[in-house]
Amino acid sequence: MTTDLRGDAIKPQNIHADRPARELTIEWADGHKSVYDFSALRWLCPCAYCRGEAGQPGWLDSDPNLTEEQVEFKDISLVGHYAVQPVWADGHSSGFYSFEHLRKECPCPADQARRAAQPSPQVELPPHQHE
């Protein structure tokens, strides 16, 4: 692994949802700032329904056309110290977005370039993770 996200890098100092601009901004303790477009955030939903589980594809894997309501973000709450849980206008709220996940998917140009330069992280996993 070349990227190590821990400590201040995944500790949010300020979380701000700007509804008119349709952006969620997170300022991290290491000084980095991430701005997520609401619809980009919806595409990042990590819940089992959107992402699938046990090898089954999720709803987002079917490349759906998201409606206005599905990318309209109503509310966000903190889940412990590790995640946020957004509530979408269509009622969907089962996604717990861990700060690590959010920071890893930071949409800023520098992080996009970093992800593009990295080979798929799955390839680096050791072959026997489970006993």
CB closer to Zn ion, 121 vs 125: 121
As a whole number of angstroms, the distance between CA 45 and CA 96 comes to 8
**Which residue do the tokens 């995640």 mark?**
83
- Total binding residues toward Zn ion, as defined by CB under 5 A: 7
Q: Which stretch binds Zn ion (CB under 5 A): 1-9, 15-23, 111-119, 120-128?
A: 111-119
Q: Quick check: helix, strand or coil at residue 99?
A: helix
Number of helices and strands (H, E) in the chain? 4, 6
Q: Under DSSP, is residue 113 helix (H, G, I), strand (E, B) or coil?
A: helix
Q: Which of 9, 17, 44, 47 binds Zn ion (CB under 5 A)?
A: 47
From 21-29, 65-73, 105-113, 121-129, give the range in contact with Zn ion by CB under 5 A.
105-113
106 forms part of the interface with Zn ion (CB under 5 A) = yes
| Residue 50 interacting with Zn ion (CB under 5 A) | yes
Among 9, 45, 84, 102, binds Zn ion (CB under 5 A): 45
Could you say whether residue 111 binds Zn ion (CB under 5 A)?
A: yes
Pair 86, 41: CB distance under 8 Å: yes
| Shortest distance in whole angstroms from residue 102 CB to Zn ion | 10
The DSSP annotation for 2-21 comes to: -----GGGG-EEEEEEETTT
